[in-house]
Structure 1
Amino acid sequence: MSDPTDFPNPTLVSVNGVALEVFEAGRENAGKPIVLCHGWPEHAYSWRHQLPALVDAGYHVIAPNQRGYGNSSRPTEVEAYDIDHLTGDLVALLDHYGYQDATFVGHDWGAMVVWGLALLHPGRVKRVINLSLPYQERGEMPWLELMEQFLGSDYYFVHFNRQPGVADAVLNANTHQFLRNLYRKDVPPSAPEPGNVMMNLATAENPRGAPLMSESELAVFVSAFESSGFTSSINWYRNLDRNWHILGDVDPIIHQPTLMIYGDRDVIPKSERLTDFVPNAEALSLDCGHWIQQEKPEETNQAILDWLKQQDVG
């Protein structure tokens, strides 16, 4: 199902003071909800390969463009993108569909939101499936400070915060080139370049590796970001330390059954202490980079469906 025309038409759903653009399939499977949470700089369309497989397996699939993305609301205040607001949207989405809880699947920043949801609203999360980004230990030092100390001021998380608007403008001016250069697979390893890696990608003439998707698939992402710009989605990064403070007040242990899927060639390191914080977690790795569910769709679907079946039997 890689043809953009096969993806469900969206509905705008009012939740938590914003409107979310929601792509839904399998309503005939009401009672078995699974919510798919995309990462950055992505779109609900990044789950196009998973939707039909999950519907066939009997799930009611709900894939929102989260706030700041696509045709969902884009509040102007940076604070409107903190973990309270992002998880609040998902809770309100469950309320909208009349569900007490659901299985939540997150990739990249979507995984960060799903981890946060399980911490802040544990009663609303039945199971967790996260891709790429493992549970992030809170530690003694706010995350941004820690990153700046170890990775420097040009590291893109830090740069987005310390130089607001600079990267946004470069990405906005080079949307197609940035996304074309970012969405690659089989990228050969190389020495880190100076500067903000995202701005470097946006201005690089020649992409490295092989394209992750067809031109028509890429066009869905390009069109969405040409319309929305990048600032609202980058604002998620600008709440990293605020999130660190918010999560200081909650029990850091996630008790739900959890599946963690890594890409062996992802730049995000695997967690060596996952089960210290997520005692009911199982982890597996696929031979791919960061864009796991788009790079290895069949393997991702198989891993998710096998695990869900095992949970249902157990």
Structure 2
Amino acid sequence: MNSNTTQNAFPIPTRIAVNGVELEVFEAGQHNAGNPIVLCHGWPDLAYTWRYQVPALVAAGYHVIAPNQRGFGASSRPTEVDAYDIEQLAGDLVALLDHFGYDDATFIGHDWGAFIVWSLTLLHPERVKRVICLSLPYLARGEMPWLDFMEAVLGSDYYFVHFNRQPGVADAVFDADPARFLNNLYRTNEPLLPPKPGMVMIEIARTETPAGDPMLNDSDLAVYTAAFENSGFTGGINWYRNLNRNWHLLADADPIIQQPALMIYGSRDAVAPAENLAAFVPNVEEISLDSGHWIQQERPEETNRVIVEWLARQEAVHG
């Protein structure tokens, strides 16, 4: 294990210049050089989301690379909204591989990080060896741009739509009290309730009686709070503000992902499983864990076991 990390401490970050930005990168298992695995967080999240996975992956023989992606933590936060489109986010990861001298890697993504990993695999298939995604399955590119489709089906208060149609409004609410928003959002044992009217993320940020139980302990919450007090939420929300742009940017990509893939669902996650994932990802294995949305943090031991065993099977078959 890297001397900078223990079971109880996340690796010490370095800042790496890639693709016109600087990323704060947490690295472990350098002695496993030649066997890279890149971990991609979602929103509003950090590389720290993988704190339970890093030691397990190092022990399994991987060189673990976990960036705070652009807009998050101490990584660069460009002001232009289109600086957060999928070509830029995928380009950061390609440049990260170049920095370390890797032709390809296994990529793990959760939530928005899963969207980035799926899209990276479409845009740069030669750079992706294997795909592991949590919570968010492959999002098929339908005939209508994603945001327009969401607005038509789910309405203007749906938070993806609200982020786009009312720029700055939600950002200001979250920025006003990051600790409260994050503590209210990161919950376990939440009841699955039907959607309520209003903008759900703003409601979560303002509620005094969040559902379920807090998932983050005091020290974990302090890590998240300090990061978002420093960065604010706008950079990460700008990922959402490129949803239609991403739909256009992916127009010419072959929509079929051929790489071996593992899809991990939470059975109590509000994100629904895909009904036809194998149509777009023919070499996929799908697994469901008894979890809400924050799978790798809620069920770390089961998540680690599923990932490490799947990777071992892939190594045995494909090398």
Q: Distance in 1 between matches of 2:258 and 2:229?
A: 40
Q: Distance in 2 between matches of 1:155 and 1:232?
A: 19
Amino acid at match of 2:160: F
Q: CA deviation at 1:4?
A: 9.5
Residue 231 of structure 2 is aligned to residue 228 of structure 1:
yes
Please list the CA deviations of residues 238-281 of structure 1 after superposition, one character each: whole Å capped at 9, or x if unmatched.
00000000001110000000000000010111001101000000
Amino acid at match of 1:187: E
User: Which secondary structure state, in structure 2, belongs to the residue aligned with residue 35 of structure 1?
Assistant: strand
Counterpart mapping for 1:1-80 below 5 A:
6-80=9-83
Q: Distance in 2 between matches of 1:260 and 1:36?
A: 15
In the alignment, which of 102, 122, 125 is matched to residue 122 of structure 1?
Answer: 125
Q: Which residue of 1 aligns with 2:144?
A: 141
Q: Which residue of 2 aligns with 1:153?
A: 156
Q: Distance in 2 between matches of 1:191 and 1:120?
A: 36
Please list the CA deviations of residues 279-302 of structure 1 after superposition, one character each: whole Å capped at 9, or x if unmatched.
000100000000000000000000
Please list the CA deviations of residues 195-250 of structure 1 after superposition, one character each: whole Å capped at 9, or x if unmatched.
11110011001221011121111111111001000001000000000000000111
Q: Which residue of 2 aligns with 1:131?
A: 134
Q: CA deviation at 1:5?
A: 6.1
Q: Which residue of 1 aligns with 2:213?
A: 210
Q: 1:3 to 1:126 in 2, by over 3 A?
A: closer
User: Which secondary structure state, in structure 1, belongs to the residue aligned with residue 197 of structure 2?
Assistant: coil
Q: Distance in 2 between matches of 1:170 and 1:3?
A: 36
In the alignment, which of 187, 192, 195 is matched to residue 189 of structure 1?
Answer: 192
Among the aligned pairs, what percent are the same residue?
67
Amino acid at match of 1:202: A
- Deviates further, 28-37 or 5-14: 5-14
Q: CA RMSD in A?
A: 1.2
Q: Which residue of 1 aligns with 2:182?
A: 179
Q: Distance in 2 between matches of 1:169 and 1:4?
A: 36
Q: 1:140 to 1:180 in 2, by over 3 A?
A: same
In the alignment, which of 92, 103, 107 is matched to residue 104 of structure 1?
Answer: 107
User: Which secondary structure state, in structure 2, belongs to the residue aligned with residue 249 of structure 1?
Assistant: coil
Unaligned runs of 5+ in 2: none
Runs of 4+ in 1 over 3 A off after TM superposition: 2-5
Q: Distance in 2 between matches of 1:243 and 1:134?
A: 16
In the alignment, which of 73, 85, 88 is matched to residue 85 of structure 1?
Answer: 88
Q: Which residue of 1 aligns with 2:309?
A: 306
Unaligned runs of 5+ in 1: none
Q: CA deviation at 1:192?
A: 2.4
Q: Which residue of 2 aligns with 1:255?
A: 258
Q: CA deviation at 1:190?
A: 2.7
Amino acid at match of 2:12: N
1:3–1:217 CA contact under 8 A, matched in 2:
no
Q: Distance in 1 between matches of 2:210 and 2:180?
A: 9
TM-score normalised according to structure 2 size: 0.97
Q: Distance in 2 between matches of 1:179 and 1:231?
A: 15
Q: Distance in 1 between matches of 2:221 and 2:125?
A: 35
